[in-house]
């Protein structure tokens, strides 16, 4: 049949639009979270990005993780940023001349040629490597992908489980809010209040060139972030002396999920994964013992320096739902908390808010103090599915897809209205959309 002359083009499918975002943010060897705000390679972003990229190009997904691992330090840490040397220094703060990885990180074995930060981010990488492998096992085997990344991922977990067991309770601690990935979560307010901020005039925030100040962390937060990072750097990035040390439920749950993935990788490579699965189960028990609150029906952060649980309700405390080995009493309680008044899922919200809707510090637009983020909703969706909550998982999946589409793949959204905040064309939003479409 003849095509009508002035036919209206069909709206581009969500799949095609998500692929375009990732294409635009690809640099040739890795993907930036967003060109304006975050023009380098970020650690947990790359893991989520690889999980989506595997549906477009398993080779690009493998390359994404390999590039990140080229920034790994000899002590096993995977830095939270691997810097792109062709990006001007003033495009992002803190820049390589702040971290001085190759000199200040010398004793910890920072790479000589690649510039990186000296802190870490949540360990989503082994999980991502396993999922990337599964997307095209033939290509993965032909390239020796898992054989190459396995020892590096094992060293990464070793670093976290040994050097970062600052609370001596078998869990890993974060020593900076940027490490946990939810920079200005109200969970950090109490432990951060003990930190003397660096003077405002000693640094210049590049983020405010791109983001609305009311959607970003405050200057006071930044002063404290800078103080903590400076002290860590000046101690040669040695672990154990930080004034800020927190055991976080999401960070540790992701470590456990990745330990299970590492067991599967070991099996694929012909070894036995039994010891790793057993370790993951022991860590799950430690997570429950140290961070679960049966009365409040959620996980909380533990302030290792103060010795107390931090009773702020953050999405971080729901992320352990991801773990297959949780007792049903706990998964049932987490599902109740998700749908209850503090998070409102399926009632007043369609995506999971980053923080307690009823909390004193709640702010629907300010970064990790209320807005809903796509990576955490993806993790909770996976958790709901793992524990047989198909209907809730389906609704959350649909909400992620709808909101990603209407906001042009926003960085985060108002949890009540779904209005876009922060950057648009954000890589992990596009990547995880693709993953949920498959």
User: At its nearest, how many Å lie between ligand 9WN and the CB of residue 203?
Assistant: 13
| CA-closest candidate to residue 316, choices 170, 213, 137, 184 | 184
Span near ligand 9WN by CB under 6 A; candidates 9-17, 36-44, 140-148, 429-437: 36-44
Binding to ligand 9WN, residues 204-233 (CB under 6 A) = 207
Task: Convert 103-129 to b/e letters by CB count within 10 Å (16 or more is b).
Answer: ebbeebebbeebbbbbbbbbbbbbbbb
Q: Of 103-111, 177-185, 189-197, 243-251, which part binds ligand 9WN (CB under 6 A)?
A: 177-185
What CA–CA distances, in Å, run from 249 to 188, 234, 401?
Answer: 13, 28, 26
Q: Choosing from 66, 136, 179, 183, which is the catalytic residue? A: 183
- CB 428 to ligand 9WN: min, Å: 7
Nearer to ligand 9WN by Cβ, of 46 and 173: the residue is 46
Place of tokens 């940027």: 178
Site residues for ligand 9WN, 358-387, by CB under 6 A, read none
DSSP symbols for 66-98: HHHHTT--TTS---SEE--TTS-GGGSSS-HHH
∠ at Cα 119 (282, 132), nearest 5°? 60
Active site residue 259: no
- Binding residue (CB under 6 A) for ligand 9WN from 19, 22, 33, 105: 33
User: Is 38 among the residues that bind ligand 9WN (CB under 6 A)?
Assistant: yes
Paired tokens of 80: 């939270």
Residue closer to ligand 9WN by CB (options 80, 313) is 80
Of the listed 231, 303, 411, 414, which one is catalytic? 411
CB of 319 to ligand 9WN, least distance (A): 13
Main-chain dihedrals φ then ψ at residue 2, nearest 5 degrees:
-65, 140
Q: Is the dihedral of CA 139, 142, 148, 154 positive or negative?
A: positive
Contact 272, 264 (CB under 8 A): no
Any contact of residue 64 with ligand 9WN (CB under 6 A)? no
Residues sharing a CB contact under 8 Å with residue 302, sequence separation 6 or more, in sequence order: 167, 171, 246, 247, 290, 291, 308, 309, 310
Which of 44, 83, 99, 145 binds ligand 9WN (CB under 6 A)? It is 44
CB-nearer residue toward ligand 9WN: 150 or 251: 251
Q: What residue is closest to ligand 9WN based on CB?
A: 33
Q: Which two tokens stand for residue 36?
A: 């304006």
CB hemisphere CA count around 176 (13 angstroms)? 23
Q: Judged by CB under 6 A, does residue 156 bind ligand 9WN?
A: no
Kindly indicate which of the ranges 82-90, 175-183, 230-238, 352-360 contains the residues binding ligand 9WN, using the contact rule CB under 6 A: 175-183
Q: Which is nearer to ligand 9WN, 361 or 395 (CB)?
A: 361
* Minimum CB distance to ligand 9WN, residue 49 (Å): 10
Q: 93 and 205 in contact (C-beta within 8 Å)?
A: yes
Of 66, 54, 51, the C-alpha closest to 148 is 66
- Closest CB to ligand 9WN among residues 84, 284: 84
Nearer to ligand 9WN, 52 or 181 (CB): 181
402 as an active site residue: the answer is: no
For ligand 9WN, which residue of 183, 221, 312, 381 counts as binding (CB under 6 A)?
183
Q: In the set 17, 22, 25, 45, which binds ligand 9WN (CB under 6 A)?
A: 45
Q: Applying CB under 6 A, which of residues 178, 251, 362, 378 lies at the interface with ligand 9WN?
A: 178
What element of type H or E holds 424?
none
Active site positions, annotated: 183, 411
Point out which residues bind ligand 9WN (CB under 6 A).
33, 38, 42, 44-45, 80, 178, 181, 183, 207
């Amino acid at each position: 049949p003849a095509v009508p002359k002035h036919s209206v083009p069909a709206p581009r499918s969500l799949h095609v639009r998500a692929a375009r975002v990732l294409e635009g943010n690809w640099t040739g060897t890795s993907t930036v979270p967003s060109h304006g705000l975050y023009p380098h390679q970020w650690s947990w972003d790359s893991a989520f990005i690889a999980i989506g990229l595997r549906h477009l190009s398993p080779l690009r997904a493998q390359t994404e993780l390999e590039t990140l691992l080229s920034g790994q330090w000899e002590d096993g840490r995977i830095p939270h940023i691997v810097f792109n040397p062709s990006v001007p220094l003033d495009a992002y703060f803190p820049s390589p001349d702040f971290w001085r990885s190759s000199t200040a990180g010398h004793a910890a074995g920072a790479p000589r040629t690649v510039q990186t930060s000296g802190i870490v981010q949540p360990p989503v990488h082994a999980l991502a490597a396993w999922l990337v492998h599964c997307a095209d096992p033939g290509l993965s085997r032909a390239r020796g992908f898992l054989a190459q990344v396995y020892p590096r991922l094992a060293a990464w977990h070793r670093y976290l489980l040994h050097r970062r067991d600052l609370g001596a309770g078998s869990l890993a601690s974060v020593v900076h809010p940027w490490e946990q990935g939810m920079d200005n979560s109200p969970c950090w307010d109490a432990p951060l209040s003990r930190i003397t901020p660096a003077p405002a005039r000693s640094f210049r925030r590049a983020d405010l060139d791109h983001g609305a100040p009311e959607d970003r962390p405050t200057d006071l937060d930044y002063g404290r972030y800078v103080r903590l990072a400076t002290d860590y750097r000046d101690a040669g990035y040695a672990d154990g002396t930080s004034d800020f040390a927190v055991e976080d439920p999401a960070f540790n749950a992701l470590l456990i999920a990745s330990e299970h993935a590492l067991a599967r990788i070991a099996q694929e490579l012909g070894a036995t994964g039994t010891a790793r699965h057993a370790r993951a189960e022991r860590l799950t028990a430690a997570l429950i013992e140290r961070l679960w609150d049966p009365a409040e029906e959620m996980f909380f952060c533990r302030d290792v320096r103060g010795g107390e649980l931090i009773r702020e309700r953050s999405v971080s405390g729901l992320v352990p739902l991801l773990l297959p080995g949780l007792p049903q009493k706990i998964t049932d309680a987490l599902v109740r908390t998700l749908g209850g008044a503090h998070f409102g899922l399926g009632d007043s919200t369609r995506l999971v808010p980053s923080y307690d809707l009823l909390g004193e510090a709640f702010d629907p637009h300010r970064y990790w103090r209320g807005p809903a983020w796509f990576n955490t909703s993806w993790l909770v969706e996976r958790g709901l599915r793992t524990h047989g909550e198909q209907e809730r998982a389906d609704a959350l999946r649909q909400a992620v897809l709808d909101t990603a589409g209407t906001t042009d793949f926003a960085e985060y959204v108002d949890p009540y209205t779904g209005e876009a905040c922060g950057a648009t064309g954000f890589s992990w939003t596009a990547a995880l959309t693709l993953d949920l479409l498959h």
